Amino acid sequence: MFFDKRPKDNSVFEYSKLKIDECYVNISAHLQEIQNKIFLYALNKNCHGCPLKRIQEFKPGESKIQVFSTQYPWDLRFRFDGSSMYLSKLDEDPFKICDRDNIIFNEFGEYNLALTEESPDGCIEFEEIITPKNSYSPLYLYIILILLGTPLYFIGLRFFNMIKKKLKGKEASNNDSKNEDNVLRSRKKRVVSLDVFRGLTIALMIFVNDGGGHYYFMEHSTWNGLYVADLAFPWFMWIMGFCIPISLMSLNKRKIGLMQTLKDITRRSVVLFFLGLFWGNAGWIDLDKIRIPGVLQRFGICYFIVGSSLAFLFRYFSLKDEGGKIRDISNLWPRWIFALLLMVLHSLIIFLFPVPGCPTGYLGPGGLNLFNVTRANCIGGATGYIDRLIFTVSHIYSNPTAKHVYESNAFDPEGFLGTLTSAFQVFLGAQGGFIILSFKNESKTQILFRLLAWGLMFVVFGGTLCGFTLNDGWIPINKNLWSLSYVFITTGLAFILLSILYFIVDMMNIWNGGPFIYGGMNSILLYLGHSTAWNMLPFHFVIGTMNSHFARLTEALWGVSLWLFIAYILHKKSIYISV
């Protein structure tokens, strides 16, 4: 049932050739007064503000089989004329026969779509011939297994410890358990929930990079919007920022001078940048086409910007109670001015910088967007244009998420302008670190309340900027542009998730964070290891066509589990890799 739920092949439909999230549609026309060819135009709802595209033509009485993607709804229109490949929905159409919007297809289904006078609406008759099975069944199955397996894991662990006590003696077993917890809680005196959060994030990154079961919402959003894969990168940036003030305070207590601190920050930034440059350009590399921006490159640059600016602040930073209830803000106010200036600069550039051949202030994907008014090189507006000026097209990402949907050109999601908002996000993470430092001598409830309050506030800020809509707000949520609303929303979610983990792990002590905490202690190793071995055994495997959600989901979960197991083994051997 879960391995491959598609129908069997027959003389008309070869279901074995369908890919994941595809279906067959039998299209025909039965209108007596029409003798000429009929043309079918279609628009997938994933392509916002796009024109209809001609996909099929047929004669009256003739049937054609068309494969449709089932991930998003479709708008369809039948016409007499097919001379144009694209057709704006905003224009009057004298050749229109009829249309039907928001048609939903399901995976491996079979449908009849007939243009007939006998349909209920007098135009298009839509009929489901083979009822498809639920595409989300594998996901539900694994969620149930995890929900059932979690308590069984803790019960089994408790039983194991009981047996261990009897075999080794109660005192020795208690010492082993205490030593394990002490290692987890005392390593560099971190907030334990922060390591758990980092481990959850690296596990999420590995999972979505392995395909996430090939569910569209597990991937990156095509342009505007927020899917699961869009969370990992900003959460890592936020966590990095969270750790900066804690690390600087440790250096300050050890009487490490400012120049040495700046040297350490510069060294780490350079190492991160070149690790990203080398790992992101593996294989047979043409230096004329080497990609310069990248994930770790952005980490390095943002770490340098925020880390060096905060290093100067720590020369005068005090944990005294000046500032009262807002001392986590008042102690940081000079850097708030700097961070807000970054946002003002970013906003002025994206909204006022003129881009040749494109609307000023344009934030869209270009290509087919705005009903084919824009050009393919308008993707990202000023953000994309400045990257092409600085790096040239040959040295940026050539296959952005919008390319195959909007027919856009190259665009780098880790480009220059996004570094400004990324640095701002790292600074917002540092604000969380300052909460821990400023209120560590007070009750943990005080810290929990502040983490949660900051999270809710940023979610509201982000929702306000995007108008709580996908495409119609002032600044839509957009990972490719690293938009300000995207920063606020993902930052707010990070604060909220950390507050939940802080309550469970640090306050209530009902979970030590395993197995995710082990990944959090070796996140850079897991990132580089996964980036290197993602298509190698035993991390990746293929059985048959892997043409089902169940097979893809199993493979992705296997990869995550294996890397977390490796992290656990490294933890048991006290091996921790950092930059």
C-alpha triplet 349, 352, 356: angle, nearest 5°: 100
- Rounded CA-CA distance 403/365 in Å is 8
- Rounded CA-CA distance 559/27 in Å is 41
Catalytic residue among 30, 48, 214, 220: 220
Is 214 catalytic? The answer is no
User: Which pLDDT tens digit goes with each residue over 388-439?
Assistant: 999 999 999 999 999 999 999 999 999 999 999 999 999 999 999 999 988 8
**pLDDT value for 20:** 92
Stated pTM of the model: 0.92
pLDDT band at 2 (very low <50, low <70, confident <90, very high): very low
* pLDDT higher than 70, residue 185: no
User: Which pLDDT tens digit goes with each residue over 310-320?
Assistant: 998 776 555 55
- Rounded CA-CA distance 40/107 in Å is 21
**pLDDT value for 188:** 46
pLDDT band at 567 (very low <50, low <70, confident <90, very high): very high
User: Which pLDDT tens digit goes with each residue over 241-270?
Assistant: 999 999 998 888 888 888 999 999 999 999
% of the chain exceeding 70 in pLDDT: 91
Give residue 142's identity as a one-letter amino acid code.
Y
Better pLDDT: 449 or 537: 449
Place of tokens 């869209």: 364
Cis peptide before 234 (omega within 30 of 0): no
**pLDDT value for 1:** 43
Long-range contacts of 87-91 (CB under 8 A, 24+ apart): 87/41, 87/51, 87/52, 87/53, 87/54, 88/51, 88/52, 88/371, 88/372, 89/43, 89/51, 89/52, 89/371, 90/371
* pLDDT higher than 70, residue 234: yes
Strand order of the β-sheet with 96-103 is: 86-87, 52-58, 38-44, 74-79, 96-103
Place of tokens 């921006």: 293
CA dihedral 187, 190, 193, 196 (to 10 degrees): -50
CA dihedral 184, 190, 193, 194 (to 10 degrees): -120
Query: 535 with 211: CB under 8 angstroms?
Result: no
Place of tokens 């308008």: 378
User: Which pLDDT tens digit goes with each residue over 290-348?
Assistant: 999 999 999 999 999 999 999 987 765 555 555 567 777 777 777 889 899 999 999 99
Phi, psi of 249 (to 5 degrees): -65, -40
Average pLDDT over the chain, rounded to an integer: 88
Range in 10-14, 90-94, 98-102 the model is least confident about: 10-14
- Rounded CA-CA distance 56/69 in Å is 15
Structural domains of the chain in order of their starting residue, each with its CATH number: 15-135 (2.60.40), 169-572 (no CATH)
Question: Which residues lie closer than 8 Å to 264 by C-beta, 6 or more apart?
Answer: 251
Which helix H or strand E contains 69, and what residues bound it? Answer: strand 63-69
User: Which pLDDT tens digit goes with each residue over 46-87?
Assistant: 999 999 999 999 888 888 999 999 999 999 999 989 889 999
What number is the average pLDDT over the span 177-197?
A: 66
What number is the average pLDDT over the span 194-207?
A: 96
Query: 65 with 14: CB under 8 angstroms?
Result: no
